[in-house]
Chains A and B, each alone.
Chain A
Amino acid sequence: MYHLDNISQKKGNTQILNGINLKIDEDSIFAILGPSGSGKTTLLNILAGIDRPTGGKFLNEDGQVERGIMVFQDYRLFPHMTVFQNITFGLKVKKTKGSDIKQRAKDITETMGISELINRYPDELSGGQQQRVALARALILNPKLLLMDEPFSSLDEALRIEMLDFVKELQRKFQLTIIFVTHYKTEAYMLSNKVAILINGQIMQVDAPKKLESNPQNFSVAKFLGQANFIEGSLTNDDFVSPIYSGKVNVVTEEGKLYLPFSGQLQLDQTDYPAFKGKIVEKKWMGSNSERVSIEIDKNVIYCDLASESVDENKEYQFYFSKLPVVF
């Protein structure tokens, strides 16, 4: 277990990180998800020993300071060195024996599928190949902790899925702890079943992807995750009043915004929480099993993901909440 103990970072008068507390299991993949400018890279730099925090500590299980090996967003392969020289850089500076270096380089390039590239220079590689080299350069050092900064953001869609699976495979093979930061929630959800949300230098929530989506802890998390309707209204005690829905709600914070995520919250099957009557004005295809429908209620339009072909356009339906809705 790695402990991030009240880590803070201040640069000039700007508080970049504010009392970060996290516990991260070993031999797992942990995602830190947040919008740009939230302090993700700053946090990762601290875990990599590149920056020193102005407050707090990062310790491993034995209470020791441990430095993670970083795979940078822009890879940072040394442009004046060949792939082989790049990969073996970390071993060379540690004065590892030459025969050892060769063997380990051979092993890691085979694992990464880059054996044919060892005499090339970084600018002769594709983005995906560069990433494999960057991973090889880190993994040849047998790190326990691997840090990845926006690892897949510069890859195209197909390659991204391929690399996601590959990184998962590497994690199992080397029994690594991987901490990675990203601003793509799908990336975080696909790679990790424990995701921390970092907004404005603070950890807002640590949860499994499904729980994050269904129970965001506050308005900023809900807003960042997106894919939801926020309906303005007024609150009196536990009663919410708005043109779309008026009635009982679960009040989390008192900003007066009803949170209706596109999926999971609204349904046609009857529950104890009737929502509203609305007319279907549009349907959009969202993959083979679901479609996003636009529902008009009293001239207001909200969106909702429903099973394919469950509603028809220009017809009115009664909707229900699957559980008591939340107001932020």
Chain B
Amino acid sequence: MASKKFTKLIVYLIFAILVLMPLFVIFMLAISKTWSYPSLWPKWVDWGYYFRFLFTSKEIQSSLFSSLELAVGTVVLTIVIAYPTAMALAYYDFRGKKLLNVLVYLPLIIPSIALLTNMDFIMIKYGLNGTFFGVVSVHTLFCLPYAIKLLYDNLILWKDKYEVASRNLGASTLQTFFKVTVPMNKSGLQGAVMMTYIVSMTQYLATLLIGDGNYLTLSVRMFPFTTSGKYRMAAVYGITFMLVTLIPLYLIDVWVTHKGRKIA
């Protein structure tokens, strides 16, 4: 028994080191004033540096805004498309269902660089390159497979059993959707929203290429800092990036687990 516990502890420890060490380094980088080779710890730590930087740097603020703006837009567009698609796949049998099932995953199967250069070409043709809708729709393309899959897996649990009951009791299609479908499949929606938000936040190439430089998001700005060795700046962006990802995730999780009853 004891040895089993010990092995478990070791596994957790290795896992924690693998995940937490890089995080710790990023965190230390963001708050250290001087940290140069060969010293193991930073010589001078300034706890306020990060926040001063966050509140004074126009660049990081505008990046933050761009990232959030695109992520929210992507979440809305993705859910609007993914929800009906997942419902159709989960509830109905129709001709071409198998084909649609494969099509859904196509954005993940095709190499993204090939997809993006062609998308860029089309966006330019329709004058959408550099626009909000243009960038959001490309982000959406990469988010849809995850969102549809997560919603589908949740919807398939009950299929349309409860919707049928709701409509029989006199509820309209819309009432049924908001009073039965959404509350019953909250965890699927949570997964889809979280995943979409993260995937949109981390898009680098798509934002750069389709955005024509109009959208300098956190990931777009972070990349050159890392490649040119400005680790401290990169770390500040990294921390911000993590905060704006984790805080909404936490809030959504609170909403799902505490508001009403968790059922699946």
A contact residues vs B (CB 8 Å cutoff): 48-50, 67, 69-70, 72, 74, 76, 78-80, 89-90, 93-94, 121, 137-138, 141
Contacts and interface: CB of A to CB of B under 8 A. Distances in A.
5 contacts: A50-B167, A69-B169, A78-B165, A80-B184, A93-B175
Contact of B162 (A48, A49, A70, A76): A76
Given A93-B175, A121-B261, A76 B161 contact: yes
Contacts of B164: 50, 76
B263 A80 contact: yes
B42 interface: no
B170 A141 contact: yes
Nearest to B260: A80
Interface residues of B, number: 19
Interface of B: 161-162, 164-172, 175, 179-180, 183-184, 260-261, 263
B157 to A, nearest CB: 11
Contacts of B162: 76, 78
Contacts of A137: 169
B175 A70 contact: no
A179 B113 CA distance: 62
Contacts of A141: 169-170
B168 A48 contact: yes
Contacts of B183: 80
A interface secondary structure, majority: loop
Contacts of B161: 72, 74, 76
Q: Please report whether the interface of chain B is mostly helix, strand, loop or mixed according to DSSP.
A: helix
B204 to A, nearest CB: 39
A121 B161 CA distance: 18
Given A80-B261, A93-B179, A121-B261, A70 B170 contact: no
A9 to B, nearest CB: 15
B169 A89 contact: yes
B261 A70 contact: no
Nearest to A93: B171
4 smallest CB-CB distances across A and B, nearest first, come from A90-B169, A93-B171, A76-B165, A80-B183
Contacts of A70: 165, 168
A93 B168 contact: no
Given A93-B170, A93-B172, A79 B165 contact: no
A90 B170 contact: yes
| Centre residue among A74, A79, A121, A138 by max chain B CB count within 10 A | A79
A49 B167 CA distance: 9
A79 B161 CA distance: 12
A121 B262 CA distance: 12
